[in-house]
Chain A
Amino acid sequence: MANFEPKIVGFLCNWCTYAGADLAGTSRMQYPPNIRPIRVMCSGSVDSAYVLRALLEGADGVFIGGCHPGDCHYVSGNYKERRRITVLKSILKTLGLDDNRVWIRWVSASEGKRYADTISEMTSHLKKLGPNPISKYWSL
């Protein structure tokens, strides 16, 4: 497992986390290349079904990045997403599945460092967890 490189599907909100990721890049900050970012208009637009889809297709982790509470460009999208992800995590937990593969974090447009640190943290967390066990099964 030494060479295991986790694949992370990232849903980044256009106004905060995507800009934060951009800042990390333009500032030449180093962080693991394990995330595949998908730019969305608001974290609140990320339905649980998309998160589940990524997990079921074998992503080792799913990252949802939104604006800090109170800072949502659309006022309350991030608060609603927080509830939605809470529900999803509860479902996964009840069914005995690992809910630690789904992360929701708040990263503002000015927090390039926080973005790089968060992705590093998530990557090393997933390295410890190992590959998503779902990849083994054909009968999805």
Chain B
Amino acid sequence: MTKEVVIEVKNGKVKEAINSFLKGLLEKNLVSALLVSREVPSKDNVVQSLVTNSHGLKEANVIAPVLPVNSARIISEMTRLSPHKSPVGIVLRSCEIRALIELVKLKQASLDNLLIIGVDCLGTYSVSDYQGLCKQGDSPLDELLRKFKEENEDAKLREACRVCEYAIPSNADLVVGLIGVDFEKNILLESRTEKGEGILEKFSFPKFNQSKEREESVSKYIDEKIAKRDALFSQTKKEVGNWENLLSVFSTCISCHNCMRVCPICYCRECFFKSPTFEFDSEKYLGWAKRKGSIKMPKDTILFHLGRMSHMATSCVGCGVCEGACPSNIPLLRIFKTVGHNVQQIFKYVPGRDLEEPLPLTTFKEDELQGVGEE
């Protein structure tokens, strides 16, 4: 099923090379629409755009190093009520595909008639950093590609990306490869499924012949990321470590619940923590305050974060959009990623790995975790 071809890059223009392939998909009627990230008129950010003709692809920038939203949420919005009836291509990063797989398991999205085109992710900047780079007159994408080529990791990349071990997308029909590929001349286009192979057959791209080099570069790159990830885990454990530290990390939370709203896993129409369970009579507040002398208002902020963790940590993909949406700059990513990793390890579960793996909290084994009930 795996077939590897190259798309020629003219004058070092990687973005345009990918766009020429996407244009081909629309012009050959292989998809009826494409969901791509596209530069806004001011050119200092990208938004997702559902494009039905090649004209709309002019501003497409599917590898723009910025992640304003996790697009899994958008695909859920489009397919929750009914799956697509004609093929729609979606260009996603690994964290978005992994979140999408989790949403399918949660019955919030459908993969029917979707052609998933994954792109190698070299990391993303925060929206404000991305805009800052644009205002300086630099193309954040060119900057990032240049730094990547020099093996010089940009410290400005979001923490989520600096410690992400999933640069290469999984569960995609097609993968656009950049890592371990001489992307100034060629980029890799790899089919991972029959559907993907069927698409490649409609094009006449030359064969890719540097598979071994790619494989080596990728495994080296991933190993470095895992080391960084593990370092972050131990640092985080030191930073929290007791109630006092934990409370001080979350003390600036204003209960806006943005983290929950942008989280691709938090799909509930009505969040439990926004439900009438948490509406109280005025006398209740006074009672609590009297009992302890004083209480923080708004109340229950730490309960919200810990409770949210207990609901979604098994599926957390570590995309870090929660942190990007936080107006109080709470370091949510490192906490949620560390917690998520430990929880997922108990069940040997990797969110987004396999559609067939059941969600840990929806299933059980009879002979497991015996120590928990019999300590």
Q: Which residues of A line the B interface, CB within 8 A?
A: 47-49, 52-53, 56, 58, 69-70, 76, 79-80, 82-91, 93-97, 103-106, 133-135, 137-140
Q: How far is the CB of A130 from chain B (nearest CB, A)?
A: 13
Task: Give the interface segment out of B58-66, B127-135, B238-246.
Answer: B238-246
Closest to A106 in B: B373
Report chain B residues within 8 Å CB of A97: 242-243, 246
Which residue on A lies nearest to B345, using beta carbons? A90
Would you give the 0/1 interface string for B281-308, flagging 1 where the beta carbon is closer than 8 Å to chain A?
A: 0000000000011111001111100110
- State A140–B365 Cα separation when bound (angstroms): 36
Other-chain residue from B237, B242, B296, B306 in contact with A139 (beta carbon distance below 8 A)? B296
Do A56 and B302 contact each other (CB < 8 Å), given the known contacts A49-B310, A134-B243?
A: yes
**Residue B145 lies at the interface, judged by CB distance under 8 Å to chain A:** no
A106: chain B residues within 8 A (beta carbon): 373-374
Question: Does B331 touch A at the CB level, under 8 Å?
Answer: no
Beyond the given A96-B240, A105-B373, could you list 13 further A-B residue pairs with CB under 8 A, ordered by the A residue number? Answer: A53-B303, A79-B365, A79-B366, A82-B364, A83-B369, A86-B372, A94-B342, A94-B343, A96-B237, A96-B246, A138-B296, A139-B296, A140-B296
Taking a contact as CB atoms under 8 Å apart, the answer to whether B311 and A48 are in contact is yes
Dominant SS at the B interface?
helix
The answer to whether B314 and A87 touch across the interface, beta carbons within 8 angstroms, is: yes
B268 at the interface (CB under 8 A from A): no
A95 to B322, CA, bound (A): 18
B256 touches A (CB below 8 Å): no
Q: Let me know if B295 and A52 touch, CB within 8 A.
A: no
The interface residues of chain A lying within 8 Å CB-to-CB of B1 are: none
Closest residue of chain B to A88, judged by CB?
B310
Segment 327-375 of B: residues with Cβ below 8 Å from A: 335, 338-339, 342-343, 346-347, 360-362, 364-366, 368-369, 372-375
